[in-house]
Structure 1
Amino acid sequence: MATSRARARLRNTASIIAYVVLAQTATAQEAEFLGTVQLGDSKRDVQTDTATPITVVDQDEINDRQADTIAELIDSVPGVSLVNGSTPQGSGINIRGYGANSVYGTDQKVAVIVDGASVGSEELYRIGTQLFTDPALFRSVEVIRGTVGSFAYGSGIVGGLVQLETVDASDFTNGEVGFNVRQTLQFSSNGDGIASSTILAWQPTENLEFLANLTTREQDDQIDGAGDTIGASAFDLPTGLIKGRYSFGQNSDQSLTFSYNTTVTDENDVPYDTFDTTGGTFGNVDRETQSDTASLQYAYAPIGNDLVDLTVTLSYASDQIDQEYVDGSSTCEADPALCPSPFPDGGFLTVNADHKYETTKLNVSNTSLFDTGSVNHSLLAGVELIRKERLDANSAPGGTDNRIAVFVVDEMEIGDSLSITPALRYETSSIEGSTASNDRSFENDALMGGLSVRYAFGDGFAVFGSAAYTESLPIIDDLDSTELMEQSEKSTTYEIGGSYNQIDVFASGDELSFKTNIYQTTTDDITSYTVEGQRGVIPDRVETEGVEIEGSYTLESGYYMDANANFVEGTEFRKDGTTADWRNVPANSIGLTLGRKFGRELDLSWEIIADAEIKRNDETTDAFAVHNVRATYIPQSGILTDTEIRLGIENLADLDYTSSLATRPAPGRNVKLTVSRTF
C-alpha cells in the first residue's frame, strides 16, 4: 500500500487541517458580534457515506467557479490534475496519473460521460481533449477516482470517471407550469474574455418540460504572470443544448428524456500541436471541429414495486475534426536539417489528417431493492451494446469496434454498520479495420470486478477498503500492430481509508466532515505507452500510489472551510530491468478554501492552491501557491431579486508559474465578473 513517506505526509496534512479547523473556530467565536445566520454550508459536501472515492460538484459550485472549460470545474478535486486547462483546445484531465498527457488528450483510462453518452475517448496525436462543450450546460459533475466504482460505466477505467448531467427546464421553472428565461453574461480581464448564456425554460404542463440553451464563449490570447503572451490561447466556442422531458403513467412513474448538445470551433492558422504555443515542427493548420452528443432515456420506477427501477438509454456521440496545413508555417521548411528529410510536400501527413469518430451506445439497467434474511440488497444489473466507428485518417487507422458488456453491482447492507459491495463486468470486443490495406479483425473479451467493504461506527467514524481489477481491451488506434491487438492491459487497485461526519464537534451547530483514501495501482501488459524517448519500446508495468484527502468544516454563524490534498508517486518499470519516475504523475498538492456566508445573500471566500516542487526524471517543476478570491451576491428582495452577481479574481498575486503536467504557463491575474438573472 502507501509508502512510509506517503503516510508521513498524511499525518502532517491531518495536523495542518486540524490546526486550521481550530483556528477557524476561534475566529468565528470572536466574530459573534456580526450576528448568527442560518446553518453554514461549505462549497462542497464530502461524500462520507460511501467507500467509493467520489466527489460531486453541484450547480452552486459550478456557478461559483466561473469556469471557462469543463476541466476547470474539477481541478480542485483531489487526485485530479489538468494538462493546461484554461482553454478548450490543448487541455486535458488527468486523474491519479492517468488520462491526458502531453502527447494525447486521453489514454483511455479516464472516462467522460455526458447524459449517458461516452465522449472524448479517442487517442489523437498531439490533439488535446475532445471534450468540446461548455460548463454553462451542466447542473452537476461527479468524479469517481480509481476503478472500484466504475464497472457500471466501462472497462479499462484506471484513473477514474467524470460524469456530467445537463440542466433541466424544471431547474429554472421550479417544477411549476410557466416560462422562464435565464440570461448570464460573463466578462474576464485576462484575454478580454466574454461569455453569454441564454436559457429558455418552458413547462406547459406539470408533466412536460422543454429547455433550449445557446452559449457563446470567446477570448483573445491570455497573458501569463510574467507579462508574456500565451500563444494559441485564444478561442471562440459556441455551444447549444436542447432538452425535453415527458412524464406519464400511473403517478408519473415513467418518463422520456431527450437531450442534444453541439459545439463548433473554427480556428485559422493555429498550431497543429494543441499542447504547444507555436507551430514548431508540425506547423500551423486551419482546423474546424464539430462535437455532437445526443441521448434518449426511458425511465420506469413504479410506486410500490421495489424490484423495478428501469433505465434504458440510447446515446450517440460524434466528433469531426477537419484540418489543413498552412504552407510555410513549419520550422522544417525554414531549416529541413531539423526534421525528417525530405520534408513532405504540404506538411506531415499527421498534420493534414481529418478525423471523425462516432460512438453509439444502448444501456439497459435496473435497480432492485430486496432483502435476504438480515441483508438488504440494492442490486444494479445491466447490459450495454456499444459501437464505435472511426474514419481512416493519415495519422490513425479507421475501423469499427463492436462491444457487448454485462454488469452487476450488489450493494449489501448488513445491519446499520456494515456494507459489502461486489461488482462484476464482462465485456467482449470485435474490431475490424475499414480499409483494403488494413481489413483485419480481432476479438477479445475480459471479466473484471471488484469488492468494497465499509464499516460505520456509531460516533461518525467509518472505515473502508476495496480491491478492483479491470482490463483495457485493444482499441482501433492499435490496428497496425497485431501484438497490441491481441493483448489487453491489466490493472489492479487496492484502497483503504476512513471518513468522519458529525455535528456539534467544537461548537453548537457546527459540522465536521473528512474522508481519506490511500490507494495503490499496478498496470501490467502495457499497450498505451512507450518508454520516453524510445519509440516502439514498451514499459513492463506502471505502479502508482497515493493519498487523497477531502474535508469540510462549517459553523452555524456562516463560516466554512473546505480542504483537499493529494500526494502521489509513480514508477515506470522497464523490460531491461531499469526504472524511471512515471512521467504522468502530478505534483503533490493541497487546496484550502476559507469563507463566510451571510444568509442566502452573500458568500465571500478565499481559495489557496499550492503545488510542491516535483523532480521527475531530471526535470524539475517549481513549487507555487496561487490565491483566488470570490464573492457571490444574490439579493433576496428589491429590484435585484432573481439576479446573481459574482466577482472572482484568479491568480490574485499575478504569479508566474507552470503546473507540473502543463505544457504552457498558467494565465496571470484574471478578474471575472458574472451577472445572471432569471425572468
Structure 2
Amino acid sequence: MSDRISLRAALLSSVALLVTTQAFAQERPRVTEPLGTVVLETRRDVQTQTATAVTEIDQEELDDRQASTIAELVATVPGVTLVNGSTPLGSGINIRGFGGGSTYGSNQKVMITIDGATQGSEEIYRIGTQLFTDPELYKRVEVIRGTVGSFEYGSGVVGGLIQLETKDASDFTGGETGYKLRQALSFGTNGDGITSSTTLAWQPSEDLEFLASYIWRRQGKQVDGDGNLLGAEGFKTPSYSLKGKYTFGASRDQSVTLSYTDTQLAERDVPYDAISDLPFFGNVDRDMQSRNLALTYRWNPDDNDLIDLTAALTYADQEILQTGVPAPGNATTNADLRYETTKLTVKNTALFALGTTSHELRTGFEVIRKDRLEASSAPGGLDERLAFFVIDEVSFGNGLTLTPALRYETQDIDGTRYGYEKYSNDAVMGGLSARYEFTTGVAIFGSAAYTEALPILDDLTNINQNWGGWLVNYMTTPEKSRTFEIGASYRASDLFAAGDAISVKGNYYNTDTWDVTSESGLNTVTMKGLEIEGAYSMANGFYGELSANIVDGSSRSTAWVWNDYYKFTPTDTLRLALGKRWDDTLDLSWEVAASKRYDEGDATAAIPGNAVHALRATYRPQEGVLAGTEMRFGVENLFDRDYQPRLATRDAPGRNIKFTIAKTF
C-alpha cells in the first residue's frame, strides 16, 4: 500500500512541477511546416514524422472505398484484422492480435472513440463489437497501433486505438456563408445493397455553422465466391448526425462544438449468436441503438503559445434489446444490454523552450463514468475512473526528439445495486519514445511502453477463478502489458525522377501481456510483428501504396503450459495498390490484398492463403452540367474467390460491384 501511495504522490508532484515550469518558460514560435515539405499525391500517405505507429484515412479514401461498415474502412491498415467485417453485427476488430475474437467482438485492448466519446469495450457474448455506426458520418479515421501513443486517451490499450471524427459544415461550405446540399446514392450487387446519404450544411455567418446528415443503408444476405449464403443476416441501419459550431473571441480564438450521432439496427427472427451462427442459442428479435453526444470547448490564443486548451464532455450510449423467438425464449435470448459512458476530458498543449530544447507539453485529466444494465449474460454495475496524463515531446534541435508519457488512473467499481461487491484499483502507466531524423530524410526510432487494463464490469462474475491451482479474483487483477518497438522511416522527393515523392516506414514490435483475464484459460500472451507502410507518387499522376504485416504469437495457459501459437494470432498479409490520377478529374486504381496460409496450432484451424483483387475508379467532372458531381465505381473480390479470412467465422463475400453517384449543390 505504501508503494502505491508513493507512486501516486510522485505522479501528482510531477504534474504540478511540469505545469509550474511551463508558466515560467519562455514562449517560442508555433511549429510550422518546414521548407521543402515532401507531399505525396496518393490516397494514403505514411506518417513518417512520428515514432508512433499510426495510419490516417482521410475523406478522399473514405469515399473511394465505399465501405458498408467501419471495420471495412480499417481492414487495409497493417496490423488490423477483421473478425468478419461486412456486417455491423457479428464482427470484431483485432489489432496486433488483440481485441475481437470468435466469442467476443471487443475488449478494452482495442479502444474506439467517436468525436472523443469512448465506445463500449465490454465483452458481449457472441454478439460482436458495439460499434454500430455508419462510415458516411465521418471525415477522418485514425488508427494508432500499440500502446505508446495511447496514454492521453485511455488505459489498457495494447492492440491499438481507432478514432473517428464526424464531418463539419465548413467541410462543405469551405468556410463561406450560405447553404450546401450533398446527396449521394450507392449500390452494391452482392446483397443488393443500397445507401442514400443526404447532408445539409448551413453557415449563416463566418462564426456559426450547422450540419445535418441522414444516411439510410440496406444490405441483404450476401453470398461467398461459390454463390452460397454466408450465414450473416442482412441489415438496415438508418443513421443521422447533427453538429453545430460557434467560433468567438476577439481574434476568433475560441469555439464551442456540439455533435450528436445516432444509428439504429433492427433484426427479426435471427440467431442470437451473431458471430458464429450456432443454432442451439435460439433465435431473437433484436433492436439496437447507438447514440453519441460530444460538447467541446477550445481556446487557442494566437498570442500565447502556452495555451491550447480543450474541454470535452462526451456521452456514449449503446443499447441492445432482445426477445427470444418463439416466446418466451430463455435467459440468454431475452437479455437486454445497455452501456452508458460519460466522460469529461480537459487537456492543454503548451509550446515553450527550455535552454536548447523545445517542448510540446500535453497535460490533462479525465473523469469517466460507465453505467451498465444488468443482464443474464452480463453483470450490471458502475465503473468510475479518474485519470491524469502528461506527455512531453522534447526536441533537441539536432534531429533528436524524446517523448516521455505518463498516465495515472484510479477506478472504483460498484456492483452492489445488482448484488455484487465494491472494488478499487489504480495504476501508473507510461512510456518513452525516441526519434532521430537525419538530414537525408532517414529517421530511426524506438519506444518502450507499459500499460494496465483495469478490470471491467464483466469480471464481477469472475470473482474466484481457478488459475493453475490458484484462486484469482479478477476484480483485483489488472491485465499488464509491456511493448518494445523499433523502426525506421524515409521521406524524400525527386528520388528517381523530377517531381516524384516517396515515404516508407517499418516498425518492429514485441508485446508481452500477463495476468490475462480476458482470454479464458490463458495467463500470458506474447505478440511479435513487423509492420511496413510505403507510398510513392510521380509528377505524371502514377502512384503506388504498399503495406505489410508479418506477425507471430505465443501464449501460456493458466496451468503454466507453453504454446508455440496464440489462438488469435493473425496471419501475414500484404497489400499493394497501383493507380493513375488525371488532376482532380479521374483516378483509376488496382489493389490486391494477399494473406499467407495459416496452419499454426490445431490442424482444424488451418486457413489457406489467398489473394483478393479490387478495382476502383473515381470521376469528378470539373466543368459543364456535371461539375460538382462525383461518380465512383468499384469491384471487390474481382475474381469471385471463395475464401475464409484468418480469425473470421464465416467465408468472405464474393464479387461485389459497387457504384456511387454524389452531387453537391
After superposition, the C-alpha distances for 1:41-100 in whole angstroms (9 at most, x for unaligned) are: 111010000000000000000001000000111110000010111111111111000011
Are 2:609 and 1:623 aligned? Answer: yes
Tell me how far apart the structure 1 counterparts of residues 558 and 384 of structure 2 sit (CA, whole Å). 33
Taking only aligned residues, the RMSD between alpha carbons, in angstroms, comes to: 1.1
Tell me how far apart the structure 2 counterparts of residues 182 and 107 of structure 1 sit (CA, whole Å). 36
> What's the CA shift for 1:113?
0.6
The residue identity in structure 1 corresponding to 2:56 is: V
Contact 2:48 2:503 in 1 (8 A): yes
Name the counterpart of 2:297.
298
Q: SS where residue 614 of structure 1 aligns?
A: coil
Contact 1:400 1:434 in 2 (8 A): no
Are 2:504 and 1:518 aligned? Answer: no
Tell me how far apart the structure 2 counterparts of residues 644 and 326 of structure 1 sit (CA, whole Å). 44
| Aligned residue pair count | 615
Percentage of identical aligned residues: 54
> What's the CA shift for 1:40?
6.4
Contact 1:398 1:434 in 2 (8 A): no
- Structure 1 residues 630-649: aligned runs within 5 Å: 630-649=616-635
> What's the CA shift for 1:632?
0.2
Name the counterpart of 1:535.
none
Tell me how far apart the structure 1 counterparts of residues 40 and 662 of structure 2 sit (CA, whole Å). 24
Tell me how far apart the structure 1 counterparts of residues 398 and 178 of structure 2 sit (CA, whole Å). 44
Are 2:366 and 1:384 aligned? Answer: yes
Tell me how far apart the structure 2 counterparts of residues 209 and 609 of structure 1 sit (CA, whole Å). 41
The residue identity in structure 1 corresponding to 2:90 is: G
Structure 1 window deviating more from structure 2 (440-449 vs 267-276): it is 267-276
> What's the CA shift for 1:176?
0.3
Name the counterpart of 1:282.
281
Name the counterpart of 1:5.
none
> What's the CA shift for 1:347?
4.1
Are 2:572 and 1:588 aligned? Answer: yes
Tell me how far apart the structure 1 counterparts of residues 206 and 174 of structure 2 sit (CA, whole Å). 11
Name the counterpart of 2:272.
272
Runs of 4+ in 1 over 6 A off after TM superposition: none
Name the counterpart of 1:15.
none
Contact 1:282 1:347 in 2 (8 A): no
Contact 2:615 2:636 in 1 (8 A): yes
Name the counterpart of 1:432.
414
Are 2:459 and 1:478 aligned? Answer: yes
The residue identity in structure 2 corresponding to 1:499 is: S
> What's the CA shift for 1:579?
2.2
Name the counterpart of 1:499.
489
Name the counterpart of 1:104.
104
Q: SS where residue 478 of structure 1 aligns?
A: helix
Pairing partner for 1:375 from 330, 339, 357: 357
Name the counterpart of 2:466.
none
Tell me how far apart the structure 1 counterparts of residues 275 and 108 of structure 2 sit (CA, whole Å). 18
Tell me how far apart the structure 1 counterparts of residues 49 and 427 of structure 2 sit (CA, whole Å). 31
Are 2:524 and 1:509 aligned? Answer: no
After superposition, the C-alpha distances for 1:612-669 in whole angstroms (9 at most, x for unaligned) are: 0001322200100000000000001011000000000000000000101101111100
Tell me how far apart the structure 1 counterparts of residues 513 and 662 of structure 2 sit (CA, whole Å). 46
Are 2:347 and 1:365 aligned? Answer: yes
Q: SS where residue 64 of structure 2 aligns?
A: helix
Contact 2:350 2:361 in 1 (8 A): yes
After superposition, the C-alpha distances for 1:160-206 in whole angstroms (9 at most, x for unaligned) are: 00001000000000110000100010000001100000000000000
Tell me how far apart the structure 2 counterparts of residues 230 and 215 of structure 1 sit (CA, whole Å). 25
Contact 2:380 2:418 in 1 (8 A): no
Q: SS where residue 655 of structure 1 aligns?
A: coil
After superposition, the C-alpha distances for 1:538-579 in whole angstroms (9 at most, x for unaligned) are: x22110000000001111010000000001111011243422
Gaps of at least 5 residues in structure 1 are 1-38, 329-345, 532-538
The TM-score, its normalising length taken from structure 1, stands at: 0.90
- Structure 1 residues 92-241: aligned runs within 5 Å: 92-241=92-241
Name the counterpart of 1:443.
424
The residue identity in structure 1 corresponding to 2:397 is: G
Name the counterpart of 2:588.
604
- Structure 1 residues 303-318: aligned runs within 5 Å: 303-318=302-317
Contact 1:40 1:597 in 2 (8 A): no
Are 2:381 and 1:399 aligned? Answer: yes
The residue identity in structure 2 corresponding to 1:142 is: E
Tell me how far apart the structure 1 counterparts of residues 210 and 385 of structure 2 sit (CA, whole Å). 33
> What's the CA shift for 1:435?
3.3
Contact 1:565 1:591 in 2 (8 A): yes
Contact 2:40 2:535 in 1 (8 A): no
Tell me how far apart the structure 2 counterparts of residues 224 and 522 of structure 1 sit (CA, whole Å). 37
Tell me how far apart the structure 1 counterparts of residues 242 and 416 of structure 2 sit (CA, whole Å). 34
Tell me how far apart the structure 1 counterparts of residues 562 and 384 of structure 2 sit (CA, whole Å). 37
Tell me how far apart the structure 1 counterparts of residues 618 and 462 of structure 2 sit (CA, whole Å). 54
CA distance 1:297–1:635, shift in 2 (3 Å)? same
Q: SS where residue 259 of structure 2 aligns?
A: strand
Tell me how far apart the structure 2 counterparts of residues 40 and 306 of structure 1 sit (CA, whole Å). 30
Tell me how far apart the structure 2 counterparts of residues 230 and 659 of structure 1 sit (CA, whole Å). 13
Q: SS where residue 674 of structure 1 aligns?
A: strand
The TM-score, its normalising length taken from structure 2, stands at: 0.91
After superposition, the C-alpha distances for 1:312-332 in whole angstroms (9 at most, x for unaligned) are: 00000001111011129xxxx
Q: SS where residue 63 of structure 1 aligns?
A: helix
Q: SS where residue 644 of structure 2 aligns?
A: coil
Tell me how far apart the structure 2 counterparts of residues 310 and 651 of structure 1 sit (CA, whole Å). 46
> What's the CA shift for 1:232?
2.8
Contact 2:323 2:329 in 1 (8 A): no
> What's the CA shift for 1:416?
4.1
Q: SS where residue 87 of structure 1 aligns?
A: coil
Tell me how far apart the structure 1 counterparts of residues 40 and 580 of structure 2 sit (CA, whole Å). 8
Contact 1:55 1:77 in 2 (8 A): yes
Contact 2:449 2:483 in 1 (8 A): yes
The residue identity in structure 1 corresponding to 2:112 is: V
> What's the CA shift for 1:599?
1.1
- Structure 1 residues 312-351: aligned runs within 5 Å: 312-327=311-326, 346-351=328-333
Contact 1:559 1:595 in 2 (8 A): yes
Are 2:630 and 1:652 aligned? Answer: no
Name the counterpart of 1:24.
none
Contact 1:472 1:490 in 2 (8 A): yes
The residue identity in structure 1 corresponding to 2:313 is: L
Contact 2:40 2:502 in 1 (8 A): no
Tell me how far apart the structure 1 counterparts of residues 417 and 279 of structure 2 sit (CA, whole Å). 32
Tell me how far apart the structure 2 counterparts of residues 233 and 578 of structure 1 sit (CA, whole Å). 39
Q: SS where residue 392 of structure 2 aligns?
A: strand
